[in-house]
Structure 1
């Protein structure tokens, strides 16, 4: 009798795992289409999916266009592992930087809007209660007429050997320009666990901006539920190269919606039947 219930539960759990792994591939494609890779990040091989949630707005899709008012409050950040091999223990560093409009030169640094060391992940949400906020969250405020700015939120592994540079060792440092990649390297941060981005524009631009390509998620290959990376292991897997089947219609906010809570619900239902 139990097998009649077990088969659909297992199939549903596998489908959820595959969808989350597909979201990992989708965000890689988004980062390439938006020029974040390789302009800001030379490579991007996440082992989890990051989802921002702004009060009064809700969950945000990658690249979603928001107003300054919408992104004023500090967002919560949810982290969904790509598969069951990805563990979210230990400490993490959370950063948000302004990568500017598409085609910007990030070699001279990017504006830091948020930098938190010693964050943890509890119930798949980034917890900052015991963390050190080097730079408190400062809502995006792009210059009027400068075009849609890409604000990138990144969660890094923070190993025990982590040691921040002296100029970023004390809390409550204001918003300023810095080299996020040099900071990650010099402080000994680990791999990027997850990342996402939003776009915010003030006024209308008359400047000539580089074109981006939309991500057609339906063309992404369906990954194996065991084929994604663990954040504590080596990152091989999917390349952050050109997004497949792209068009030239600007930043896409397309993504797949999934909930790992379904897995827990299914497991609870099955346990109840036993």
Structure 2
């Protein structure tokens, strides 16, 4: 994470544990590997060493929107699930449904960062919800403000991949709404 500027630009230190992410097509996220938007269009399976009695928050975001040089729309929230008990993401509270990568044409590589935070207890999240193919409540979101608001501390697990525009992005964007 240091080599790609995530530490210290976004996080003070890298999470101690690895978050294992596998897409339905078998593609895996591996510390900055490049994956095409079409390869990551569906929600991945997320696994980490979780305590079955604890609650966690999982987030995926893009700090490079619309580009890494000028991130005026960052952070973009791509996936946010809270109150995940013991690592079972399917039973967590979905705040933002999974929305795969979609870098605009000509903006080079974007970093898509996944982080897991251990919650002190079950939380009532009062965040607006984001549907799968909607941009509503995703742009100009702040990971730092969210973490502070819910007292999440430092992430316990994480990983990231990089992606750049491909023709699938244009196809997907035809279906996306702003509400």
TM-score for the superposition, normalised by structure 1: 0.53
Structure 1 residue runs of 5 or longer lacking an equivalent are 1-30, 82-86, 204-274
Deviations 1:51-89 (A, max 9, x none): 1101113333111101111000100112148xxxxx464
Deviations 1:18-39 (A, max 9, x none): xxxxxxxxxxxxx111001121
Q: Distance in 1 between matches of 2:37 and 2:17?
A: 27
Larger Rg computed on CA atoms: 1
Q: Which residue of structure 1 aligns with residue 75 of structure 2?
A: 110
Q: Which residue of structure 2 aligns with residue 223 of structure 1?
A: none
For the pair 1:200 / 2:170, whether they are aligned, the reply is no
Q: Which residue of structure 2 aligns with residue 76 of structure 1?
A: 45
TM-score for the superposition, normalised by structure 2: 0.78
Structure 2 residue runs of 5 or longer lacking an equivalent are 167-179
Flag the structure with higher helix content.
1
Deviations 1:173-198 (A, max 9, x none): 63332110111011121331101001
Q: Which residue of structure 2 aligns with residue 153 of structure 1?
A: 114
Maintained 8 Å contact 2:29/2:159: no
Match of 1:133, SS?
Answer: strand
Q: What aligned pairs does 1:94-173 form with structure 2 within 5 A after superposition?
A: 94-100=58-64, 104=69, 109-121=74-86, 126-160=87-121, 162-164=123-125, 166=126, 168=127, 170-172=128-130
Q: Distance in 2 between matches of 1:108 and 1:145?
A: 16
Q: Distance in 2 between matches of 1:67 and 1:39?
A: 24
Taking only aligned residues, the RMSD between alpha carbons, in angstroms, comes to 2.5
Q: Distance in 2 between matches of 1:107 and 1:145?
A: 16
